[in-house]
Amino acid sequence: MMQRFFCRCRYLCECVRLRARLKSKWELARLEFYSLFYNVFIDKSTIIDAALEPIYWFVDTFAKYLGPAMVALVIVLTLSVVVIFYIFIIPFTLLQGFYLTLFHLLFGHWLLIMIVFNYFMGVFTHPGRPPQGMLPEVVSMCKKCIAPKPPRTHHCSVCNMCVLKMDHHCPWLNNCVGHYNHRYFVMFCVFMWVGSAYVAITSFPLFIDQFRNEEPRFQPLKFWIVNLSLDLALIEPLFKESPPDVMLLASNFSDVVVEKKVIPKPVLKKLTYNCVLYEFMLCCGVCAALALLLVWHYQLISRGETSIEHHINKSEAARLKADGKIFKNPYDFGTKMNFKMLLGLEYERSFWRHILLPSMHLPYGDGLTWRSSTYILDPSSNPKTL
């Protein structure tokens, strides 16, 4: 009995020593792991960003090649809408009156000029980057550029540079939206939305005519002779090869019925139907998409923040709310003043001249220093300060 008791005690002691050794090894491994990977600033968002790093790399790498293709797509789609408008919509408005056609020509060309001007200015205008050397104000260091960052400046991984007042990288512009081209981006979206809605509304009667009627009442004037020639080319062989009792029906020189078999419509009439359908559906889709985008940017501008600052301010507001404090965006001066600052209309500039007509005026300030709603600098002493 005593021997069995001592064996059990020895076994228990061995288990305790083994457990202590395993615990010490676990603590040592845990200490080594934390010494290599622990960061006091790590949180859930940091872990998610690290996990999504391969996706970010894929987007950053291929966005450089995707951008020129997106710009070419915008140009091709816009050009196709303009060509169809000239060939089909303008002749249709002639049937509705001379003065209405004159309005369409003036208003449509004004819209086209504003769309093209703001788009190409948004594409070719540099958004702005911090200069090398001493900066008047620095808030942090860029980990990618290893350089100081002024307020509201963020790094674009696609352009591989820091951008002043960066909003986002727009693949449709193949450019960053920043301090110097933010106005062009917003105005392009506004005028493109107005233009899409205008074309969709103008082409709607023609769309109904082509979509509902088996034999549309309207065909472009320049196609009538070509359609007639094609119809006669289809009918003439039937007179030569068909017996006299063959029933021929040619309504408006469009469809030919031979022994109750319908010969398809000429190609150009099908082209009219396809072009009008394409024009109306494309403009409706663009109008709906841009409406959502403009609502989002209206909310951002009215609060005096960019797309990036929206997420930063949201996190900061949640953090301060937990401490019983209220977050105040230092760059929010109210909806009206925020839009004036964005459009460059704060001092002695006309809305009619600088917004409704092409204008290359620069935004106020240099993008390096910004006045805030909590601490207002004197613009007379530093006119470049915003």
Q: What positions carry a catalytic annotation?
A: 170
Q: Which residues pair with 162 in a beta bridge?
A: 155
Give the C-alpha distances (Å, rounded to integers) separating 86 from 82, 105, 112, 195.
6, 10, 12, 14
Tokens of 203: 């082409």
Residue 105 near residue 90 (C-beta atoms within 8 A): yes
Who contacts 294 (Cβ-Cβ below 8 Å, separation ≥6)?
A: 189, 190, 193
- Quick one: which of 317, 339, 334 has its CA closest to 373? 334
- Residues 220/222/226/231 CA torsion (nearest 10 deg): 30
- Quick one: which of 341, 271, 269 has its CA closest to 302? 341
Residue 85 near residue 199 (C-beta atoms within 8 A): yes
Tokens of 44: 């859930």
Q: How big is the CA angle at 136 (ends 134 and 140), to the nearest 5 degrees? A: 80
Residue 184 near residue 122 (C-beta atoms within 8 A): yes
